[in-house]
Amino acid sequence: MSTISDVTALIKSREGKNTYTQSDLRTRVFDGYSDCSSLVWKCYEKALGIFIGTWTGEQIERGSLVFRNTDAKKRSLSADDLEKMQEGDLVFWGPSRWDTRHVEYYMGNGELSGHGVGVGPVRKRATEYAHRYQLLEVRRYVPEKEKLCFTEDRM
Protein backbone atom coordinates (compact mmCIF):
# COMPACT_ATOMS: atom_id res chain seq x y z
CA MET A 1 0.00 0.00 0.00
CA SER A 2 1.34 3.40 -0.95
CA THR A 3 0.76 6.68 0.91
CA ILE A 4 2.09 10.23 0.77
CA SER A 5 4.81 9.01 3.15
CA ASP A 6 6.17 6.95 0.24
CA VAL A 7 6.59 10.14 -1.81
CA THR A 8 8.42 11.69 1.15
CA ALA A 9 10.65 8.62 1.44
CA LEU A 10 11.57 8.88 -2.26
CA ILE A 11 12.43 12.58 -1.88
CA LYS A 12 14.59 11.73 1.17
CA SER A 13 16.29 8.94 -0.77
CA ARG A 14 17.48 11.45 -3.40
CA GLU A 15 18.79 14.11 -0.96
CA GLY A 16 22.37 14.97 -1.77
CA LYS A 17 22.54 12.39 -4.58
CA ASN A 18 21.20 14.13 -7.67
CA THR A 19 23.08 16.47 -9.96
CA TYR A 20 21.09 19.49 -11.14
CA THR A 21 20.25 19.36 -14.83
CA GLN A 22 18.05 21.25 -17.27
CA SER A 23 18.39 18.73 -20.10
CA ASP A 24 16.58 15.57 -21.09
CA LEU A 25 18.37 13.91 -18.15
CA ARG A 26 15.81 15.50 -15.80
CA THR A 27 13.51 12.52 -16.47
CA ARG A 28 16.16 10.25 -14.91
CA VAL A 29 15.64 11.27 -11.28
CA PHE A 30 16.42 7.81 -9.93
CA ASP A 31 19.62 7.65 -11.99
CA GLY A 32 20.98 10.74 -10.25
CA TYR A 33 19.68 13.75 -12.22
CA SER A 34 16.93 16.25 -11.43
CA ASP A 35 15.80 19.80 -11.09
CA CYS A 36 13.12 21.06 -8.70
CA SER A 37 10.09 20.14 -10.77
CA SER A 38 11.32 16.80 -12.11
CA LEU A 39 12.12 15.66 -8.57
CA VAL A 40 8.54 16.05 -7.34
CA TRP A 41 7.01 14.91 -10.65
CA LYS A 42 8.88 11.61 -10.70
CA CYS A 43 8.51 10.91 -6.95
CA TYR A 44 4.72 11.41 -7.06
CA GLU A 45 4.52 9.32 -10.21
CA LYS A 46 6.61 6.44 -8.84
CA ALA A 47 5.12 6.31 -5.33
CA LEU A 48 1.45 7.04 -6.03
CA GLY A 49 0.98 6.84 -9.78
CA ILE A 50 -0.20 10.48 -9.78
CA PHE A 51 0.76 12.77 -12.64
CA ILE A 52 1.25 16.26 -11.20
CA GLY A 53 2.90 17.81 -14.25
CA THR A 54 6.44 17.85 -15.59
CA TRP A 55 7.41 21.46 -14.80
CA THR A 56 6.47 24.17 -12.27
CA GLY A 57 4.09 26.00 -14.62
CA GLU A 58 2.09 22.82 -15.13
CA GLN A 59 2.30 21.72 -11.48
CA ILE A 60 0.88 25.00 -10.16
CA GLU A 61 -2.21 24.39 -12.34
CA ARG A 62 -2.89 20.96 -10.79
CA GLY A 63 -3.89 19.83 -7.34
CA SER A 64 -5.96 21.94 -4.97
CA LEU A 65 -5.05 25.35 -3.62
CA VAL A 66 -4.04 25.37 0.05
CA PHE A 67 -3.34 29.12 0.03
CA ARG A 68 -2.17 31.90 -2.26
CA ASN A 69 0.21 34.65 -1.16
CA THR A 70 -0.82 38.21 -2.05
CA ASP A 71 2.19 40.03 -0.58
CA ALA A 72 4.71 40.69 -3.40
CA LYS A 73 7.54 41.06 -0.85
CA LYS A 74 6.96 37.73 0.90
CA ARG A 75 9.74 35.24 0.11
CA SER A 76 9.28 32.57 2.80
CA LEU A 77 6.69 30.61 4.73
CA SER A 78 5.49 31.69 8.17
CA ALA A 79 4.51 29.55 11.14
CA ASP A 80 0.86 30.43 10.35
CA ASP A 81 1.35 29.14 6.79
CA LEU A 82 2.72 25.83 8.10
CA GLU A 83 -0.43 25.30 10.19
CA LYS A 84 -2.44 25.10 6.94
CA MET A 85 -0.03 22.67 5.30
CA GLN A 86 0.40 18.92 5.35
CA GLU A 87 3.10 16.53 4.23
CA GLY A 88 3.27 16.34 0.45
CA ASP A 89 2.18 19.91 -0.30
CA LEU A 90 4.18 21.76 -2.94
CA VAL A 91 5.33 25.35 -2.43
CA PHE A 92 5.87 27.58 -5.49
CA TRP A 93 7.96 30.72 -6.05
CA GLY A 94 8.30 33.03 -9.03
CA PRO A 95 7.81 36.55 -10.38
CA SER A 96 4.12 35.69 -10.93
CA ARG A 97 1.79 32.71 -11.00
CA TRP A 98 2.19 32.63 -14.80
CA ASP A 99 5.98 32.66 -14.48
CA THR A 100 6.62 30.04 -11.78
CA ARG A 101 10.34 29.40 -11.28
CA HIS A 102 10.80 27.09 -8.29
CA VAL A 103 8.99 24.38 -6.31
CA GLU A 104 9.80 22.74 -2.96
CA TYR A 105 8.22 19.66 -1.34
CA TYR A 106 6.83 20.02 2.19
CA MET A 107 8.19 17.13 4.24
CA GLY A 108 6.03 17.87 7.28
CA ASN A 109 7.43 18.86 10.68
CA GLY A 110 8.37 22.32 9.38
CA GLU A 111 10.79 21.06 6.69
CA LEU A 112 11.07 21.55 2.94
CA SER A 113 13.14 19.57 0.48
CA GLY A 114 13.99 20.84 -2.95
CA HIS A 115 16.55 20.97 -5.69
CA GLY A 116 18.36 24.09 -6.77
CA VAL A 117 21.61 24.32 -8.72
CA GLY A 118 24.31 21.84 -7.69
CA VAL A 119 23.94 18.52 -5.90
CA GLY A 120 20.67 17.98 -4.12
CA PRO A 121 17.91 17.95 -3.20
CA VAL A 122 18.54 19.62 0.14
CA ARG A 123 16.33 19.67 3.24
CA LYS A 124 15.83 22.93 5.11
CA ARG A 125 13.66 24.56 7.80
CA ALA A 126 10.60 25.90 5.98
CA THR A 127 10.39 29.20 7.89
CA GLU A 128 14.11 29.89 7.39
CA TYR A 129 14.19 29.26 3.65
CA ALA A 130 13.71 32.39 1.56
CA HIS A 131 13.78 32.31 -2.21
CA ARG A 132 14.83 35.27 -4.37
CA TYR A 133 11.36 35.23 -5.94
CA GLN A 134 8.00 35.87 -4.32
CA LEU A 135 6.22 33.01 -2.55
CA LEU A 136 3.24 32.31 -4.83
CA GLU A 137 1.13 29.37 -3.68
CA VAL A 138 0.95 26.11 -1.81
CA ARG A 139 -0.89 23.28 -3.57
CA ARG A 140 -2.01 19.78 -2.52
CA TYR A 141 -2.16 16.71 -4.74
CA VAL A 142 -3.80 14.18 -2.42
CA PRO A 143 -7.06 14.55 -0.48
CA GLU A 144 -6.74 16.66 2.66
CA LYS A 145 -5.89 14.72 5.81
CA GLU A 146 -6.41 11.43 4.01
CA LYS A 147 -3.81 8.83 3.36
CA LEU A 148 -3.97 7.72 -0.21
CA CYS A 149 -3.65 3.94 -0.39
CA PHE A 150 -3.08 1.69 -3.36
CA THR A 151 -2.97 -2.08 -3.38
CA GLU A 152 -0.36 -2.11 -6.12
CA ASP A 153 3.15 -1.53 -4.82
CA ARG A 154 4.79 1.18 -6.95
CA MET A 155 8.03 1.34 -4.97
- How far apart are alpha carbons 6 and 18 in whole angstroms? 18
Does the predicted TM-score (pTM) go above 0.95? no
DSSP tag of 63: S
For residue 4, which of 37, 46, 58, 32 has the smallest C-alpha distance? 46
Q: Please determine, looking at this structure, whether the domain spanning 4-140 carries the CATH number 3.90.1720.10.
A: yes
pLDDT, tens only, 106-147: 999 999 999 988 999 999 999 999 999 999 999 999 976 544
What's the confidence (pLDDT) of residue 144?
62
Classified as helix, coil or strand, 24 is helix
Q: Is the pLDDT of residue 150 over 50?
A: no
pLDDT, tens only, 64-78: 999 999 999 999 999
